[in-house]
Structure 1
């Protein structure tokens, strides 16, 4: 193997015919720009000693054969395009023993290093400049340390193997397009208590596998198109502190189901949530304030059903760039078919201001982020005198004009508070869980759609709710013909649906209905067996007149008496619990 030394401080140069190996002399402090520009045969570079401070611009530009590099801890900066196009390089190691001095990774420094698989950024690095790791298509792992302050624009664009990112608390700026088109990115962790204020334009655009976002309270602005076309995004939660949601921030997030925006939000810009066809629930923080909702902010959200506007916004007809605070543009809800179906010609913003005027329990569940258990308990207690015990009658205070119960409101939201859910479960009979809204969905069906994010405690409470629902539904089951009709309609709906994702959603609903009917059938058969056993017991006690005993028990009142007294209310829930451990399989979503 041929070896060449480079004595840059004393005027020596690297021979033009270098083939494979360069050893940098210990006294070299800077490798000037273009020193090894397009050395296509270069496979290895060794830095000896610790004098090196700077790797200049385009030093190893398009060194196609370079396999790996170790950056000495003495280096303070890596110049722009320093390793651009080193497409065979699989490993970059920043030596950190004794503490790294590296402060800056330059513009497109490792751009098009398409074989690079892993990078561990030293804690000394404060700034990663624009496009530093752009188009590193094999980069699967990036480790950041506390100390990093700025990730500039496009740093990780099109890193299609990157799956998880843990951003350090010290990060202050996440630049435009920082993770754009990272098509495998599923998890982004942003810890509370950090310094991040702004998430730049297109920062996560086209991250098609990103499922959840939990923003820290320090984030004040989401710039335009931040999460545009994030196909897998289902739930978005923000902490109090967010003020601005930019244009097209969540545009065409076609699987987004629920969003929780805090009361600190001042502006929801044009088309911020436009064309989110499955968006069901948007929680806007409690209390009157000057909230501006701009042109088309929720346009095309055909499924939106769970939303309420703060009181007394001003309704605007147009949306100029200088639209004032507190103006809700009248066309901000165009194409919201579920809302339009309910409100007809009434301007939707006006109607949504009064959405829960006569439904205080619904309102407390809608503002779950700020509702205390004491507040909800008081509302429930005050409603109890008017509650009708007839399970076939729907109390007025429990179902709003959309057919939604407080369970629907709470269980379709991004903030489904389990302590509030438990209060509702304790207060109301289980058959309420089976009531359907104007979309024909039960509250549990909404929650089921988000079951992928259930904690163990959430699974336990939801499972208990399902048990109560199934047990409560036994008395209201209308029999085999109703089952046939329901399942036939569901199958026909699946067959006639052209959109693949909607067909999958219908299939999931149908499978859950089948599970429901299977449990219903099992518990009904169990109940019948227990009742028959009780009948035999009654028959055995008769002495002379067996026929008389049968006549007596055929009376409806006596059958009910035997049914209640035979222990079924105790046995059935336990049987369901036992069988559901395998059948419901909640933990697998």
Structure 2
């Protein structure tokens, strides 16, 4: 390896041979020259600083474009690294920052080959594009005390998957994590004040975000194109503005709850969120909630949007729901605005579930029960214009409400959970696509009530055990959304098959009982409890033989009636 010791300049010129591979910086050096490498001088692999050197700054461009530089350890006296200082050092896989470092310049490590970062404790600001384009960077440790993550500072770090934001961070500037396609979490600190323009644009692995109450504005395009984003939590606090395209094209987002503090929602804010089913506004008829839908198209091309009702105090443009095909089918293309305003005018239970009010739901059920009367009071206003039951409204909502679910399960028979809406979707399915610990708990409660508990009053114990196992398979955390939905459909088909067996066996038992009662030989009547009757009349053995034929003939009809296919 060709070596050279740099001890200063002669006649104003830096004397470093072009072929130098190992460069030693003499201890007498206090100021480095600008740029050791260029396109004609690109052999430098190792830099060694002599012990005792008192160097305090690595100047702008000092090692810029040293593409084969792989080994350098800065002296502990260095407190500042200048702009572009190590930019495009593609071979630099490891780098240890001096503990006393306070300043990192713009583009200082852009397009480097580092795989891990451990930032120094005194650093308060990561400046513009400091680590942009470091496409091998997998994780970074940021120091407590860091306040600002600058413009595009980690932009296009495609392998960055692990990053904990310190509790001291107050500002995330524009494009800070744009294009970080492997980043799965964004654990925002409680004191965060700003999420800048396009801050997480195209962070396509990001699955959930919870915006702290300290944030006043989510800037333009901040989370646009986050195609895996399933959960967004917005809490009531200082948040006033959701800027244009803030969540545009978040194609996995199923539901969103707009807090009361928001008074301005920008153009295309949730446009093209093609999985968005539910948008919740606080208290549909609250006069305190009057956000401005600035520029229209706020929910344009949200093709699955059905669970939405807009307070009458909000002014809407015709383009607000442009391309929302299910809304247009339900209300007519020219009357969508009126439709979402009067969505729950005749559906008090649905409205109570939408607003999340247990008291309102109790009152609604009482009123509707009195209007409908026994014996099938659960039929009252069960399906709204979208064919949605109160369970659909509740289980598709962004905020989970266990008290309301318990109340509905007490009021409505479990078979209502087997009702599909106009799109053939079961209420529980809304929980399966956006799988979190909370949604899992809700799904388990609903599925066990629907498919397992009520089996105790009919059928065989082995049927109940089988259904319990199938429910467990739906709740398997290792399944993706599609396989989980398939498991639900399989469980429902099995349940229908058991229902057919039950109905057929009851008919068989009824006929057998009639025959036993008509005997003329004076034989003593037998006990006619269900398990005994099953066995004695042969239903336990005969029914499994004939039910497959009945199932093949009948399941197509029943399946389509319930929104299924065999």
TM-score interval for Structure 1 and Structure 2 normalised by the shorter chain: 0.7 to 0.9
- In the alignment, which of 14, 27, 46 is matched to residue 44 of structure 1? 46
1:63-84 CA distance string (max 9 Å, x none): 1221133344432221111001
Q: Secondary structure at the match of 1:92?
A: coil
Greater Cα offset, 166-175 or 513-522? 513-522
Cα distance, 1:430 vs. partner? 1.0
Q: Secondary structure at the match of 1:190?
A: coil
Structure 1 counterpart of 2:549: none
Contact 1:72 1:95 (C-alpha < 8 Å) held by counterparts: yes
The 1:517–1:174 alpha-carbon spacing in structure 2 relative to 1, beyond 3 Å, is: same
1:461-510 CA distance string (max 9 Å, x none): 422311221258889x9xxxxxxxxxxxxxxxxxxxxxxxxxx9777645
Question: Hey, what's the Cα distance between the residues in 1 that align with 2:9 and 2:411?
Answer: 81
- In the alignment, which of 397, 401, 404 is matched to residue 413 of structure 1? 397
- In the alignment, which of 338, 356, 359 is matched to residue 350 of structure 1? 338
How many aligned positions are there? Answer: 505
Question: Hey, what's the Cα distance between the residues in 2 that align with 1:14 and 1:527?
Answer: 96
Cα distance, 1:411 vs. partner? 0.9
- In the alignment, which of 235, 243, 255 is matched to residue 258 of structure 1? 255
> When the two structures are superposed, what TM-score results if normalisation uses the length of structure 1?
0.75
Q: Does 1:434 align with 2:407?
A: no
The 1:524–1:107 alpha-carbon spacing in structure 2 relative to 1, beyond 3 Å, is: same
Contact 2:432 2:481 (C-alpha < 8 Å) held by counterparts: no
Cα distance, 1:459 vs. partner? 3.0
Q: After the TM superposition, which residues 100-139 of structure 1 pair with which residues of structure 2 at under 5 Å, given as runs? A: 100=100, 102-113=101-112, 115-139=113-137
Q: Does 1:290 align with 2:299?
A: no
Cα distance, 1:422 vs. partner? 2.6
Q: Does 1:269 align with 2:270?
A: no
Structure 2 counterpart of 1:303: 304
Structure 2 counterpart of 1:226: 222
Cα distance, 1:421 vs. partner? 2.2
The 1:430–1:108 alpha-carbon spacing in structure 2 relative to 1, beyond 3 Å, is: same
Question: Hey, what's the Cα distance between the residues in 2 that align with 1:561 and 1:427?
Answer: 33
The 1:509–1:461 alpha-carbon spacing in structure 2 relative to 1, beyond 3 Å, is: closer
Question: Hey, what's the Cα distance between the residues in 2 that align with 1:27 and 1:413?
Answer: 68
Q: Secondary structure at the match of 2:73?
A: strand
1:548-587 CA distance string (max 9 Å, x none): 959x97xxxx989989xxxxxxxxxxxxxxxxxxxxxxxx
Structure 1 counterpart of 2:539: none
Cα distance, 1:512 vs. partner? 2.1
Contact 1:79 1:106 (C-alpha < 8 Å) held by counterparts: yes
1:259-318 CA distance string (max 9 Å, x none): 22211111211111122222111122333333111321111112110112123223xxxx
Q: What is the root-mean-square deviation of aligned Cα atoms in Å?
A: 3.9
Structure 1 counterpart of 2:489: 513
Cα distance, 1:119 vs. partner? 0.7
The 1:446–1:186 alpha-carbon spacing in structure 2 relative to 1, beyond 3 Å, is: same
Question: Hey, what's the Cα distance between the residues in 2 that align with 1:151 and 1:339?
Answer: 41
Cα distance, 1:332 vs. partner? 1.0
Contact 1:208 1:230 (C-alpha < 8 Å) held by counterparts: yes
Q: After the TM superposition, which residues 183-332 of structure 1 pair with which residues of structure 2 at under 5 Å, given as runs? A: 183-191=181-189, 193-194=190-191, 196-240=192-236, 241-286=238-283, 287-288=286-287, 289-293=289-293, 294-314=295-315, 328-332=316-320
Q: Does 1:90 align with 2:106?
A: no
Q: After the TM superposition, which residues 374-389 of structure 1 pair with which residues of structure 2 at under 5 Å, given as runs? A: 376-377=361-362, 379-381=364-366, 383-386=368-371, 388-389=373-374
1:178-214 CA distance string (max 9 Å, x none): 11122222222113x22x2222222222222222221
Tell me, which stretches of 5 or more residues in structure 1 are unaligned? 315-327, 478-503, 564-589
The 1:534–1:357 alpha-carbon spacing in structure 2 relative to 1, beyond 3 Å, is: closer
Structure 1 counterpart of 2:541: none
Question: Hey, what's the Cα distance between the residues in 2 that align with 1:73 and 1:539?
Answer: 99
The 1:79–1:367 alpha-carbon spacing in structure 2 relative to 1, beyond 3 Å, is: farther
Q: Secondary structure at the match of 1:94?
A: coil
Contact 1:14 1:35 (C-alpha < 8 Å) held by counterparts: no
Structure 2 counterpart of 1:453: 436
Q: Does 1:463 align with 2:466?
A: no
Tell me, which stretches of 5 or more residues in structure 2 are unaligned? 459-479, 535-566
Contact 1:404 1:437 (C-alpha < 8 Å) held by counterparts: yes
Cα distance, 1:118 vs. partner? 0.7
Cα distance, 1:41 vs. partner? 2.0
Question: Hey, what's the Cα distance between the residues in 2 that align with 1:2 and 1:545?
Answer: 116
The 1:263–1:540 alpha-carbon spacing in structure 2 relative to 1, beyond 3 Å, is: same
Question: Hey, what's the Cα distance between the residues in 1 that align with 2:172 and 2:9?
Answer: 38
The 1:19–1:343 alpha-carbon spacing in structure 2 relative to 1, beyond 3 Å, is: same
Q: Secondary structure at the match of 1:339?
A: helix
Cα distance, 1:29 vs. partner? 4.3
The 1:156–1:540 alpha-carbon spacing in structure 2 relative to 1, beyond 3 Å, is: same
Structure 1 counterpart of 2:407: 423
The 1:143–1:364 alpha-carbon spacing in structure 2 relative to 1, beyond 3 Å, is: farther
Cα distance, 1:56 vs. partner? 0.7
Question: Hey, what's the Cα distance between the residues in 2 that align with 1:22 and 1:419?
Answer: 70
1:24-48 CA distance string (max 9 Å, x none): 3456444343245565222222343
The 1:7–1:540 alpha-carbon spacing in structure 2 relative to 1, beyond 3 Å, is: farther
